[in-house]
Amino acid sequence: MKNPKQLFLLLLTICTLAIPFAALADDEFTSSVKRYPYRLPDMSVIGSPTWCKVGPKDTMLDIARRYGLGYNEVDLLYPRMDAWVPPDGKRIAVPTFWVLPPSQHQQLLINVAELRLYFFDKASSTVQTYPIGIGDEGWETPLGTFSIVEKRPNPTWYIPASLQAEYGMASMPPGPDNPLGDFMMKFSAGAYGVHGTSMPWGVGRLVSHGCVRCYPEHISLLYPQVAVGTKLEIIYEPLKFGQRNNQIFVEAHPDVYKRFPDYVQYAMDKLSGYPLAKNVDRNRFLMAIKLQNGVPTDVTRFTSEEDSPRLVELMQ
């Protein structure tokens, strides 16, 4: 098997089956609504880095889920760390901060390229954010502006005709094997929806047939808040610019759907159209797009070395 993604999913399945059920109980992972204040355009970096100490039984997938991240977010930052057996007792930085993606409606927004969802509340100028799993290659999550048209708790999965032979059925009732999880929010793009999952470790991966998967503990928070009729923007922005405390940040992600033949040219074009481009340090910017580690990076150009704040290195 030469495809590394397929190999990862195979190992994931084997390891999941090998771990005692009690260790995988969703009860271990809980979450509460976190609302981050924002103001556009000058306060568009939300959250702050967190430090954690790797426990004796932790995997990187556990750590990601515990801190509200998808697997991709820890894998990009620590590509050489063993995801299954990270060093016990090691203190690591957890990237719990993000640059807000551009939004026309500031309601519900998904940035496919970073595998993350944002739920805005313009009335309070706050935003929530959650990691997601997205469509695999050949089953790409659709882009565009849609709206939530239907909400279903304990949904039945009406299996697409092209997959019915694989699953041996036309529909799958609610239950632990149903890939839709406990809640489904269908949007106006055909059969697609934002829903939970029966395989939480697929969040932060390209694993679905186009739908958007959330951790069970996150969809249970979102579902009661998102009304039918809510605007849903689905965009593809691997590179985002943001501001906080008079500093400029860039957050660069890999081109997961391979839409840009020349990533550097794409990034330079984005920079040339950025209103504060003259205040961006080109060397720092180029380093950020080379790393593509998904971490907001300060790229502010300072007039002298004395004016430059001390940079905290988050990479391993």
Q: Where are the alpha helices (DSSP H) in the chain?
A: 4-18, 60-66, 71-77, 161-167, 216-222, 263-272, 282-291
What pLDDT is stored for residue 166 in this prediction?
86
Mark whether 278 and 138 lie in a shared domain: no
CA distance 34 to 27: 19
d(CA 158, CA 211): 13
Please tell me whether residues 84 and 117 are part of one structural domain. no
Q: Number of structural domains, the chain?
A: 3
Question: How far, in Å, CA of 249 to CA of 310, rounded?
Answer: 15
Return the CATH number at 85.
Answer: 3.10.350.10
CA atoms 297, 301, 303, 305: torsion sign: positive
Q: What is the pLDDT of residue 28?
A: 81
Looking at residue 27, its pLDDT comes to 62
Domain presence at residue 187: yes
Residue pair 231/105 in contact (Cβ under 8 Å)? The answer is yes
d(CA 5, CA 174): 28
Question: Is 5 a member of any domain?
Answer: no
Residues of the chain with pLDDT under 70: 1-27, 304-316
Clarify whether residues 38 and 156 are in a common domain.
Answer: yes
CB distance 182 to 113 below 8 Å: no
Q: Is residue 290 domain-shared with residue 260, that is, in the same domain?
A: yes
CATH at 114: 2.40.440.10
**Which of the 8 DSSP states describes residue 312?**
P
Tokens of 160: 């697409």
Domain boundary among 95, 130, 160: 95
57 close to 84: Cβ distance less than 8 angstroms: no
Examine the domain organization and report whether 262 and 208 are in the same domain: no
pLDDT at 283: 97
Pair (91, 114) in one structural domain: no
What is the pLDDT at residue 25? 52
Q: Domain end: 199, 234, 269, which one?
A: 234
Catalytic, 195? Answer yes
Catalytic residue from among 15, 52, 105, 211: 211
Q: Which amino acid is at 117?
A: L
Which pLDDT value is given to residue 313? 40
How far, CA to CA in Å, does 110 sit from each of 25, 78, 174, 291?
28, 24, 26, 23
pLDDT score for 32: 96
CB atoms under 10 Å from CB of 13, counted, come to 12
Asked whether residue 139 falls in the same domain as residue 275, the answer is no
Question: Which residue range is the domain that position 114 belongs to?
Answer: 19-48+96-234
**Sheet strands (E) in 154-288:** 157-158, 171-172, 183-187, 193-195, 206-208, 212-213, 231-235, 239-244, 247-252
- The closest of 213, 217, 195, 196 to 204, measured between CA atoms, is 213
211: annotated active-site residue: yes
Please report the DSSP string for 45-77 in residue order. EEE--EEEE--TT--HHHHHHHTT--HHHHHHH
Say whether both 201 and 284 belong to one domain: no
Q: Do 116 and 172 share a domain, yes or no?
A: yes
If asked whether residues 132 and 223 sit together in one domain, one would say yes
165 lies in a domain? Answer: yes
Cβ-based neighbours of 127, under 8 Å, separated by 6 or more? 35, 36, 38, 46, 100, 118, 119, 120, 121
pLDDT computed for residue 174 by the predictor: 94
Write down the catalytic residue from 15, 195, 209, 218.
Answer: 195
Residue 7 in domain: no
| pLDDT of the residue at 305 | 53
User: Is the same domain home to 83 and 217?
Assistant: no
Same domain membership, residue 150 and residue 38: yes
Whole-angstrom CA distances from 190 to 59, 76, 141, 186, 258 are 37, 32, 12, 8, 24
